[in-house]
Amino acid sequence: MNTNQTITIIGAGLCGSLLGLRLAERGFKVSIFEKRSDPRLQLGSRGRSINLALSDRGLRALRLVGVAEAAQQIAIPMIGRAIHGVGELLPTFVNYSGRQDEHINSISRRDLNLLLLEKLQAHSNASVFFEHECKLVDEDARTISFLHKGAYYVHAYGVAIGTDGANSAIRDRFLDQANKNRFDYSVKFLEAGYKELEIPAGADGAYLLSKNHLHIWPRKGYMMIALPNMDGSFTVTMFMPFEGDSSFGAIESDQEIVSFFEQNFPTARQLMPDLVADYRANPTSSLSTIKCHPWVLNSNLLLMGDAAHAIVPFYGQGMNASFEDVLVLDSILDKCDEDWKKTLDMYNFERKIDTDAIADLASDNFYEMRDGTADPVFLKKRKLELMLEQKYPDYFSKYSLVTFREDVPYNLAMRRGRAQDNLLMEIAAMTDLEKPVDLLQIKNRIDLIQF
Ligand SMILES: Cc1cc2nc3c(=O)[nH]c(=O)nc-3n(C[C@H](O)[C@H](O)[C@H](O)COP(=O)(O)OP(=O)(O)OC[C@H]3O[C@@H](n4cnc5c(N)ncnc54)[C@H](O)[C@@H]3O)c2cc1C
């Protein structure tokens, strides 16, 4: 247990607050700087509710600091997808797993962040400085300049970790020093952007759609999803290209908003009384995959979470992967006897293969959710997978490997999952599920796959 060294963290979002909490538990002195104001002081104005899917990798990391149960108490289990076809009054329900106890959880980003911050601030060796925006880093002098209430404050650090999200200011310093450090950096924007909307609760807080599903309206080229909130409402996210025929750019007037939704999402439209106001008020934001490496500069500055690997949200894994980062760093600290130089090197070397894998899986899943969920062969393949999962305890679909097998690294889940998918799509195309299916033969073929 180290009680002398101070670790500086920049960004008290999901990754930074979990990281700070874990390092404080280990006995480090932790200073976290966050550009936003203290969310605990804004309880009156809750604003829009943005929710996220929390799954087993994230829960495993939360368990490390003893908050997994508390998180589950403020989350809603989602057992599968409810797929809403065009012109269909009722959705098709497709479970995430053939096993009864496997589900993901819809949780409010803000409430989860608050849970972590509150637990963190109970530690006397941890301090969070809100309204401190990182502006400048000098890794040679080991100083970071923060803008606080109009004035600059220069902070001296020993080891600093940037968990300041997808638009990281810390990562900008790595870019400035790219030649010195041979820093590889790529950003790939998706052609689609997103906009958040809402299906409010019904009378007495009733859920107007099935509460325990992630709802999807796949529409070839664009889609809408909805996740439940604790108060009976659903946060709806519309994913659509910025330009082209069916695009954000093609919808301008209030009348165009209404007719687009009435034509393409008629059942959801009826549940969205504030559609036009929400559509106008909420921004259309872009989505990108950011890959970069190395994540360590000068042996004293490290990137983690979205700052190191921002991914598109279609596997519901960005936060889960960022939480898993903390778990991986924690185990490497053990292996390296809390020698930070060795820890940073080993983390930098070992973690990248897995965050690259989840980045690629998340990009693929955009097309699966948008188009695959409306494809009859894909739906047959999902049925086969669920049958296999029900019958064989050692069979896990690609989705289950990523989502429910926190013991399987992302890169292994990707390789095994993709190989299984290829075979099962082939089999599904030739199989009539109305007739008896020889599951044992399929399982035997899966077991022979090399990946
Ligand atoms: C539409 C959408 C849906 C998503 N859905 C899911 C999902 O269902 N499941 C899932 O696992 N993931 C999901 N994600 C991904 C998830 O939101 C991120 O992966 C996660 O928030 C990463 O955590 P982080 O702490 O690294 O970054 P963030 O949560 O972005 O936190 C960064 C923090 O740093 C602060 N900061 C930024 N700049 C500075 C600065 N210069 N100085 C000081 N502080 C700074 C910010 O204010 C913020 O508090 C989704 C993302 C999007 C966009």
Confidence of residue 203 (pLDDT cuts 50, 70, 90): very high
Of the candidates 128, 169, 166, 132, the one whose C-alpha atom is nearest the C-alpha of residue 17 is: 128
For residue 90, give the 3-state DSSP assignment: coil
Query: Would you say residue 375 has pLDDT above 50?
Result: yes
On the question of a cis peptide bond just before residue 294, with omega within 30 degrees of 0, the verdict is: yes
Instruction: Write down the pLDDT at residue 167.
Output: 97
Confidence of residue 48 (pLDDT cuts 50, 70, 90): low
Query: Would you say residue 45 has pLDDT above 50?
Result: no
Q: How far is the CA of 319 from the centre of ligand 1 (A)?
A: 7
Instruction: Write down the pLDDT at residue 393.
Output: 93
Query: Would you say residue 424 has pLDDT above 90?
Result: yes
Token digits of residue 360: 């690629």
Instruction: Write down the pLDDT at residue 43.
Output: 58
Query: Would you say residue 196 has pLDDT above 60?
Result: yes
Any residues with Cβ below 6 Å from ligand 1, and which?
10-16, 33-36, 52-53, 133-134, 163-165, 169, 194, 237, 305-307, 313, 316-320, 322
Token digits of residue 393: 């305890």
How far apart are alpha carbons 54 and 317 in whole angstroms? 8
Instruction: Write down the pLDDT at residue 366.
Output: 85
Least confident of 1-15, 59-73, 126-140: 1-15
Q: What percent of the chain is modeled with pLDDT above 70?
A: 98
For a substitution probing ligand 1, which of 38, 40, 52, 323 has the most ligand atoms within 8 Å of its CB? 52
Q: Which amino acid is at 9?
A: I
| pLDDT 10s digits, 82-99 | 999 988 889 999 899 989
Instruction: Write down the pLDDT at residue 54.
Output: 98
| Residue 180 vs residue 125, higher pLDDT | 125
Token digits of residue 419: 């190989």
Ligand 1 nearest-atom number relative to CA 237 = 1
Ligand 1 atom 27: the closest Cα is on which residue?
165
Q: What is the mean pLDDT of residues 205-226?
A: 95
- Tell me what the pLDDT averaged over the chain comes to: 94
Q: Which amino acid is at 64?
A: L
Q: How far is the CA of 307 from the centre of ligand 1 (A)?
A: 9
Give me the DSSP letters along 48-59. Answer: S--EEEE-HHHH
Residues sharing a CB contact under 8 Å with residue 244, sequence separation 6 or more, in sequence order = 250
Confidence of residue 451 (pLDDT cuts 50, 70, 90): confident
| DSSP alpha helix (H) spans, 122-253 | 169-176, 178-181
What is this structure's pTM? Answer: 0.96
